[in-house]
A and B are shown apart, each in its own frame.
Chain A
Amino acid sequence: MADCFRITYNAENSYDYPVTAATWQFLILPLENESQHHLKFEFSNSLGAYWELSHSGFGFRTIRVRSKGPVSRISFTAEISLIKEVVNPFAFNPEMVPPFNGPELKLQDFRLTFARYIRPTHLTTLPPGSAALYSWDQGEGYLEKLQALNTWVYEYLYYTPGVTDVDTSLEEVLGLNKGVCQDFAHLFIALARNKGIPARYVSGYLHQGKGYFGDAQMHAWAEAWVPGIGWIGFDPTNNILAASNHIKVAHGRDYDDCAPLKGIVFGEGENTSQHAVAVQSQQ
Chain B
Amino acid sequence: MKELWQSRQRHHLTQQIKYLRLVFNDHFMIALIFLFGALGVSYANALKTVTAPLWWGAPLLIIGFWALLQMGKLASLFFAADAVFLQPQEANMQAYVRGAWRYSHVLPLIILTFLGLLAAPFAIQGAGLTIIQWASFLVALLLLKSADLSVQSMALFVGQSENNTRWYWFSQLINIASLALTIYLPNYVAIGGAVLALIWEIQANRRAQQIAQKGRIDWLPAIAQEERRQFRIYRFYNLFTDVPGMVASAKRRKYLDIFLPRQSLSPQHTFTYLYTRGFLRGTEYLGLFLRLTVIGAVILYFVNTWWLAALVAALFIYLIGFQLLPFAGQYQNNVMTFLYPVTKRTQRQAFLHLLTILLGLTWLVFLIPTCWRLGFSTLTFAATGISLLILIAFIVVYAPRRIDKIQ
Chain A complexes with chain B: no
